[in-house]
Amino acid sequence: MKSEARSVQPPKFVAEVSSNHGRDLARSKRFISTAAAIGCHAVKFQLFRIQELFAPEALAARAELRARAQWELPPEFLPELALHARACGIEFSCTPFYLDAVAELEPYVHFFKIASYELLWHDLLRACGATGKPVVLSTGMAELEEIAAAVAALRDAGCRDLTLLHCVSGYPAPAEECNLAVLETLREAFPGAAVGWSDHSASDAVIHRAVHAHAAEMIEFHLDLEGEGEEFGAGHCWLPGAMRTVIEEIEAGFAAEGDRRKRPAPSERADRDWRADPTDGLRPLRHVRAGLAEEG
């Protein structure tokens, strides 16, 4: 049976702070330090203004939407957060949710992340693509034709470094609905784009499966520090210790990958001479026995 080629590099882990920062600069910086400490490659925030996120009719009808104004990240945090990420040795990213946010973020982010809910808004996609910076696009709720249109908009605008994240926009997402095989569909449908998984399941089994069975090149996950963030109660956020374990396990698995050459490993070389001799089936090999006889 022919085996499929798989990446021998571990995925890029991206910690999504979402609205767990509490509009607190010190807490926001702790998210960055924590993400770096548990082995993440990048940290991501969100930049939105409620008045430019929801239509007036929605805000008038839903008090809970108006309350989300307390979840807005103050734009004045951006320079210090980006600097702190650099000091911690990880990339800084942010999701723009209004058009002017793209220009506000461009000086600070390593890459743009576009949320699933904005996938249909091609003006935003084109604005991100035109910066020339890498773009990560989540595809939750989307059909393949919608993703194709979004990819075309990004590439037409100049995006040359694109990552597509399969996700299920349920909070939390049941494991049986994760449909991780879609990663293969995205890889086949959009050659040249990297493919990964944006996790809302908070399940280590799901993440391991995405990486080891479907070669996810990026894993994005929602992080909270201690279970007191605004979104933790919904059940889709990870705590640092649990995600550190997942990252360490996955990196250990990739360290075990090797190079396909079959040869004795250093730890087993000393035992080679203690194999059964082909002449009589007894251990060790005859030349070792001779030495043992002299010792005796």
Domain ranges of the chain: 12-255, 269-295
pTM: 0.93
SS3 142: coil
pLDDT at 1: 30
Please state which of the four CATH numbers 3.20.20.70, 3.40.50.10680, 3.40.50.720, 3.30.930.10 is assigned to the domain occupying 12-255: 3.20.20.70
129-133: list long-range contacts, CB under 8 Å, 24+ apart.
129/153, 129/154, 129/155, 129/156, 129/157, 129/158, 129/159, 130/157, 130/158, 131/102, 131/106, 131/158, 132/158, 132/159, 132/160, 133/106, 133/109, 133/161
Residue 8 pLDDT? 72
pLDDT at 244: 98
User: Distance between CA 146 and CA 294 in Å, rounded?
Assistant: 78
Residues of the chain whose pLDDT is less than 70?
1-7
End-to-end CA distance of the chain: 52
How far apart are the C-alpha atoms of 83 and 199, rounded to whole Å?
Answer: 27
Q: Residue 286 and residue 50: Cα distance in Å, rounded?
A: 80
Predicted local distance difference test score (pLDDT) of residue 5:
45
Handedness of CA 103, 108, 109, 115 (dihedral sign): negative
Rounded CA separation 290/182 (Å)? 61
